[in-house]
Structure 1
Amino acid sequence: MSRPVDALLDYLRAEEAQGRESVYLDEEAKELLREFHRRAREKKTPVKKPAAAVAARMSSKEEPARTRVVEPVASISVSGDSAAEKIESLKQQAMNWAPAKALGTLRETMVFSTGNPEAELMLVGEAPGYQEERQQQPFVGPAGQKLDGILKAMGLDRGEVYISNIVKFRPSMPKQTTNNRKPTPEEMASCMSFVREEVRIVKPKCIVALGATAAEGLLGLTGAVGKMRGSWHEFEGIPTKVTYHPAYLLHGNAGLKDKRMIWEDMLAVMEKLELEISEKQRGFFLPK
């Protein structure tokens, strides 16, 4: 079950992702935080509203608190006995998730996840695109075909892994047809409670963040993927590797070096999962 404080954390991560280093607290927000702290010290069960209410009353220093309105994040209730049943309960709640709907910047069709809800490997992208919205599954377009090829080279298929996105709805644009855009920090924050619950249910051995936007949403990192991919990070206590989005390989200038960088990241993932790696696999995309 999502913690009340997650609402506050999601809001602060969204603000940090936009480059803000401080937030303004009015007196009511300060009192709510004090109450939250008192309850934690007394080991009482905290009420559901304080953290979300604090987030709703925060603002950046540049804006008066009264002009900065953040929709309080509702709590998620996980039901079911098996991992599959629990993921299905999340999916049903995500369809009409008020914090995401209230933004008014996301489309109506929900795209949740696919694959094995008890997988050792979880892959996370940024948001569904045109093809994903049509088929209501993540990574089914050209980038998804590239991802399938990467998994095949690892000796896996999409049915053995768990694939999801930070945002569960396609970001909207004026006169939108097949064109897509990256989600905003606010859009990512609105759905992060689901991503946390997915991780807690699946319990993967490791996570792969596919692209800079996924790394921003999961880890609060900004900048070039090239600077993120060299080391392991952590999300919800799970080792997390950042690599390029499979769409990167669709660019006309993507060459052998680019393929090798992604493959080196996947070799590190295979080692983390203790998968057998052949000499042939180790040599993929090396100059001959």
Structure 2
Amino acid sequence: MTSTPNSLFRHYLNSLIQRGTTRASLTEEARDVLRTWYVTAKKGSRAHSPSSPSSPSPRPEPQPTKTPPPSTNPELFPEERKPSSSITLPEGTMEDKLQYLRDLAQNWKPARDLNSLRDTMVFATGNPHTQLMLIGEAPGYYEEVQREPFVGRAGEKLNQILKAMGLSRDMVYISNIVKFRPSLPNQRTNNRAPTPEEIEACLPIIMHEIQVIQPKMIIALGGTAAVGLLGEQGSVSSMRGRFHDLNGIPVRVTYHPSYLLRSDNPREKRKVWEDMLAVMERMGMPVSEKQRGYFLPRE
């Protein structure tokens, strides 16, 4: 099953909603595309409209009601999220294997063939000898400039979350599913979420990263990362609050740091912090009473 432009557009809008975006600007080119879709849909509607009363057509036989197909695209999001057999990791140290994946990702043909991603590759950062791996969706403007995941304001917010957990960036491993910044017409600092095709094209690289790191826990930052990793459709609010399984590794889904930048609501911050507390407890990390009380409403 091939994704349609409409489904990709809906996926993009859903990703904006999951990150807390309430307004989005459109270029003139985007408006032209939407007008084309609208006109095409109207023509299709007329083509299937009933005949006029002056020339009645035979009443069709009633058809049995069909159950609508599930929203998840089985080709884009297969149930088994396992490393592809098309990649064979070399012998050697963890660093050797990660360097191999870094070199492979630079010219990864499935991603390059899409012609929808920019050229600068942003791989990962942090300590590969860790028990905790954090995975986001794709690089943005600042990540592309610095060639490091989660920098800029979103990176600062993530650093604050890690510090509250008693961690730092050099104690965890941070990566993205898509290794290139998704492109837009006349792109400057504006970003977009990756499409299902872009996620699926880059998925083998991140799955092999996970295989190399072998973390005891994964935190999926944002709905796009969660959907890509787990192969499940849903919002962050519907997927957070519990642990998911990825080939035997527990995965905790939470909001992207950029979502917290758009919301000063302590209740939303508390939701993210409850996910972090659950991760800390699952990993056997010490949790103080002060940490348990972060972002709770004051009596």
TM-score range (shorter-chain normalised) is: 0.7 to 0.9
Partner of 1:158: 169
Query: What does 1:70-85 correspond to in 2, within 5 Å?
Result: 75-85=86-96
TM-score by length of 2: 0.72
- Runs of 5+ in structure 1 lacking a partner? 1-13, 24-54, 56-72
Asked if structure 2 preserves the Cα contact closer than 8 Å seen for 1:127 and 1:166, the reply is: yes
Partner of 2:151: 140
1:61-96 Cα deviation digits (max 9, x unpaired): xxxxxxxxxxxx892232252212211110011001
Partner of 1:58: none
1:129-188 Cα deviation digits (max 9, x unpaired): 000000101001111110000000000001010100010100000000000000000000
Cα RMSD for the two superposed structures: 2.1
Query: What does 1:110-125 correspond to in 2, within 5 Å?
Result: 110-125=121-136
Q: How many Å apart are 1:21 and its aligned residue? A: 5.6
Is 1:236 equivalent to 2:288 in the alignment?
A: no
Give the counterpart letter for 1:273 in structure 2: M
1:81-118 Cα deviation digits (max 9, x unpaired): 22122111100110011110000000000001011112
Asked if structure 1 preserves the Cα contact closer than 8 Å seen for 2:137 and 2:224, the reply is: yes
Percent identity, please.
Answer: 55
Give the counterpart letter for 1:275 in structure 2: M
Rounded to whole Å, the distance in 1 between the matches of 2:91 and 2:280 is 31
SS in 1 for 2:171: coil
Q: Larger Rg: 1 or 2?
A: 2
**Residues 257/217 of structure 1: CA separation in 2 closer, same or farther (3 Å cut):** same
Partner of 1:268: 278
Give the counterpart letter for 2:114 in structure 1: L
Give the counterpart letter for 1:215 in structure 2: A
SS in 2 for 1:241: strand
Query: What does 1:6-21 correspond to in 2, within 5 Å?
Result: 19=71
Rounded to whole Å, the distance in 2 between the matches of 1:131 and 1:76 is 30
Q: How many Å apart are 1:223 and its aligned residue? A: 2.5
Is 1:284 equivalent to 2:285 in the alignment?
A: no
Partner of 1:96: 107
Give the counterpart letter for 2:71 in structure 1: G
Answer 1 or 2: higher relative contact order, Cα 8 Å, separation at least 6: 2
Rounded to whole Å, the distance in 2 between the matches of 1:282 and 1:239 is 22
Asked if structure 1 preserves the Cα contact closer than 8 Å seen for 2:72 and 2:233, the reply is: no
- Runs of 5+ in structure 2 lacking a partner? 1-6, 12-69, 77-83
Of 247, 252, 268 in structure 2, the residue corresponding to residue 258 of structure 1 is 268
Q: How many Å apart are 1:234 and its aligned residue? A: 1.1
Asked if structure 2 preserves the Cα contact closer than 8 Å seen for 1:248 and 1:254, the reply is: no
SS in 2 for 1:159: helix
- Per mean C-alpha deviation after superposition, the further-off stretch among 119-128 and 219-228 is 219-228
TM-score by length of 1: 0.74
